[in-house]
Amino acid sequence: MSKDPGADPLVIRNVEFLGGMSEKHGWRPDSALPEVAFAGRSNVGKSSLLNSLVRRKSFARVSRTPGRTREINFFRVNNGFVFVDLPGYGYARVSKEKKAAWRPMIESYLRRTTQLRGIVLLLDIRREPSDDDRAMLDFLAEVGVPTIVALTKTDKLSKAVALESAAKIARSLALEPEQVIPFSSVTGEGRAELLNAITSLVEAAP
Ligand code: GTP
Ligand code: MG
């Protein structure tokens, strides 16, 4: 069997922005399609990763100033499933009030979305996981949502240092090595692997 290494595991034929939820129990798209959500601290690269996955330059808005994505944004892909860009948490320069606002909205989304098939939690490969990162992982375990961890911005480290750092993060969070995918939206590293993992989540029986 020959396999084209350059082939996309998932061909994105079409992406459509459905809208955003801006408050707890606020508007959400009237869709029962399977959902996969992307979570992580502000500036970790969620919107960039989403754009890289769907091969669009500026589909999800990439922030020049961190803390920009404040809404839960819904994107329908191939009329088959929905990608959900969650607001970033834990950015120090955001006021306390705004900081506190993301938590109930994200938590209520994660608890109430019955078609949620999985979460991609993004961590910066150069940083130690923060208390917020750990709290999010604990919360996801409690809710029971399958979780993939993507380690972003690998292009900023040498290969050797990146490997070491990935192993260290996996160890410190007690994750299985295969749960952790090094990723770069600049080089495309990890993109195919992540798409494969997401496809498995979407196709898994609910
Ligand atoms: P919020 O919406 O504020 O929560 O941020 P976000 O997690 O969506 O991050 P975003 O994608 O907006 O990226 C934040 C900054 O990091 C931008 O300047 C990006 O260009 C940069 N960035 C994101 N991913 C990568 C990456 O893989 N490599 C490098 N070198 N820079 C990246
Ligand atoms: Mg964003």
Model confidence pLDDT, tens digit, residues 76-113? 999 899 999 998 876 555 555 555 667 788 999 999 99
Q: What is the pLDDT of residue 47?
A: 85
Say which residue, 128 or 177, is predicted with more confidence.
Answer: 128
Pocket test of ligand 1: the residue of 42, 58, 63, 130 to mutate, having most ligand atoms within 8 Å of its CB, is 63
Ligand 1 pocket, 185 CB below 6 A? yes
Which residues are CB-contacts of 136 (< 8 A; sequence separation ≥ 6)? 39, 40, 89, 121
Residue 174 burial (10 A CB sphere; 0-12, 13-18, 19+):
exposed
All structural domains of the chain, each given as residue ranges with its CATH number in brackets, are 15-25+33-201 (3.40.50.300)
